[in-house]
Structure 1
């Protein structure tokens, strides 16, 4: 136990968190079992360590443990948690929980038998906590940590503080909101940088961002997806090829038969692989209506613009880049599907065009919104594209 406490204190002493993530205020920390999910490289470990430091300081009543530790090859979570609570522990933080066999059953036991103990754990977005872990159904409170929004990136780059807004607030008051923001900073001066390297926190590490992102992508394919979805390593090249094929064409309407032929696997496997890549936050699937994994998506996008620069060769079309940004920023907090009349239908109500040039007469229709590049402020139904990065 002492060695874990020493590691915990060392991590807190050397923790550098340049900004408070919005999710920190959205999590109900009073629950006894909390799961924080996020794709690899998104900052889950720093997030839960930030919680530990801000809520407990260096108190021994909170302890961070990485389940990759070899100690857990011979000891169980249950016995460790029991010893921790008996010595005054209140909150146990378990990182990389999905690598421990039988983790969900043991967390259920702890929840049922150790009522004086809170457990917070982190895991991959490939995990499906409720659907595939019936032991946790009804007791776990799960949250997803997203990459940096454009708002958060601006805060990091400028040292300024900016408010986030709901989509309804943006649609109703975007002219007033943009004037407040532009009075403090010129957002377009930072927008292209965000599209290239602003989504993942490791851009703060002063390392080669593209190289770090490629390493993260490979770890996702080799460990997160292959391990959690039990894909034999001999099939990993097919998964890689599918991701590369998607990256070269995204956004596109998938021809599953052609993808199957290109990758060298069955149609059913291609559909499964697309779903796994989506869970891993490498791609996004846009459907005609309600999401249904039994049917083909209307379009396939890369998950965020940074991935486009890492995976695509040659020139990147601005309009594709901007649509990917829009889908990424709205996709985490709205219901967004394919539109018959525009690029996206949001919350089954508003049709959005993402464009460089304004289409005529569209701004007169209150159900059609134009997200336009290279403008600081908009008018009526024309809204600056960058402003949709202020939703979280």
Structure 2
């Protein structure tokens, strides 16, 4: 345990507080058990270390951060750690990468039930099933989903300027004034291409020109480690899935022909549809359906997008501009809204609003009417039903 404490202290010492994610102000940190789920690389570890550094300053011994992929857990249990830490006066136990530990849900349940004075925060892959876990943590833990940086957060990281989060209703009803207030501070279009290229993952500054290499490393870890571990994904098909992701990146956007893809990749239709579902669960893709009611594992998505635009640049060879715009819109909207494929237009949001996405010269294909909007790239300020695409990056 001394080795774990030493590593925790070193990590805490290196934790920077200068930039913090907006999710930190949403989480109810006083709850006894908190889960933070998200794709690899979105900043879960940094978030919890920042919380410890701020809230346990001067009493760092009352908190302990451990990663469950550490070799120490090959011969020790999480329950034993919790017992020793609680007896030594510990108050907060942070368990990172819980999906790397075989019996995580049962032992977390036991900690919650038998150590009422110990608060637990755990983080894990977006593939983790809290509701269906053996320990049934859904009644004990408050679980939050963590996404990558929004365009709003990226602007704060780049400029140091703080901008308010906007609701979708505020954007639709008052987008001109909202855009003008932001333009008084910065020129969003100066930063928007950089965000699409490298701004979704918080490690963008750390890796600089090597960002594509790091994003590909994230993809490899998901395909080669997390999916085989958590979804029994056949590692023999990893190269084919990488090829598929590259095709999606360069498409306009990608409309899957399951029969042809199945034949080309060399796996049966049922397995391919299952893998579509797994790719979306792991936050590598976004699957767009015409209706999200009663979606089954084997339902074919109408369109396939990469989960974020940084993936497109890292995996594609000739990234399509129209695809990038739609990928950005879908990514930012889907964090808090239901997005489906409409009969006309590009996106149907919360079954209330219809959107088309395009460049500055594109107009709505139908008449301007209530609830029908154009999200336009390349404009600073919109007019009537025409809204700047970048403004939808202020939703979280």
| TM tier relative to shorter chain | over 0.9
- Cα distance, 1:339–1:195 mapped onto 2, change above 3 Å: same
What residue is the counterpart of 1:55 in the other structure? Answer: 55
Between 1:38-47 and 1:246-255, the stretch displaced more is 246-255
Pairs aligned (count): 391
Q: What is the alpha-carbon distance in structure 1 between the residues aligned to residue 133 and residue 305 of structure 2?
A: 26
329, 343, 348: which one aligns with 1:345: 348
SS at match of 2:136: helix
What residue is the counterpart of 2:302 in the other structure? Answer: 298
- Cα distance, 1:156–1:353 mapped onto 2, change above 3 Å: same
Q: What is the alpha-carbon distance in structure 1 between the residues aligned to residue 207 and residue 283 of structure 2?
A: 24
270, 273, 276: which one aligns with 2:275: 273
Shift of 1:134: 4.9
Shift of 1:246: 3.3
Q: What is the alpha-carbon distance in structure 2 between the residues aligned to residue 268 and residue 360 of structure 1?
A: 38
Cα deviation per residue 1:317-338 (whole Å; 9 max; x = unaligned)?
2221111100011011111100
Whether the 8 Å CA contact 1:250–1:302 is kept in 2: the answer is no
Deviation above 6 Å: which 4+ runs of structure 1?
A: none
Shift of 1:362: 5.0
SS at match of 1:370: strand
Whether the 8 Å CA contact 1:250–1:301 is kept in 2: the answer is no
Q: What is the alpha-carbon distance in structure 1 between the residues aligned to residue 254 and residue 333 of structure 2?
A: 19
Whether the 8 Å CA contact 2:285–2:307 is kept in 1: the answer is yes
What residue is the counterpart of 1:179 in the other structure? Answer: 180
- Cα distance, 1:310–1:361 mapped onto 2, change above 3 Å: closer
What residue is the counterpart of 1:200 in the other structure? Answer: 201
Shift of 1:137: 3.0
Whether the 8 Å CA contact 1:363–1:380 is kept in 2: the answer is no
Q: What is the alpha-carbon distance in structure 2 between the residues aligned to residue 224 and residue 179 of structure 1?
A: 44
Q: Does 2:235 match 1:233?
A: yes
TM-score using structure 2 length? 0.95
Residue ranges of structure 2 left out of the alignment (5+ in a row): none
Q: What is the alpha-carbon distance in structure 1 between the residues aligned to residue 367 and residue 199 of structure 2?
A: 30
Q: What is the alpha-carbon distance in structure 2 between the residues aligned to residue 267 and residue 281 of structure 1?
A: 22
Whether the 8 Å CA contact 1:195–1:325 is kept in 2: the answer is yes
Whether the 8 Å CA contact 2:207–2:214 is kept in 1: the answer is no
Shift of 1:72: 1.0
What residue is the counterpart of 1:355 in the other structure? Answer: 358
Q: Does 2:346 match 1:366?
A: no
- Cα distance, 1:193–1:175 mapped onto 2, change above 3 Å: same
SS at match of 2:132: helix
327, 330, 349: which one aligns with 1:327: 330
TM-score using structure 1 length? 0.96
What residue is the counterpart of 1:31 in the other structure? Answer: 31
Whether the 8 Å CA contact 1:284–1:301 is kept in 2: the answer is yes
Q: What is the alpha-carbon distance in structure 1 between the residues aligned to residue 304 and residue 23 of structure 2?
A: 27
Q: What is the alpha-carbon distance in structure 1 between the residues aligned to residue 7 and residue 288 of structure 2?
A: 43
CA RMSD after TM alignment? 1.6
- Cα distance, 1:166–1:318 mapped onto 2, change above 3 Å: same
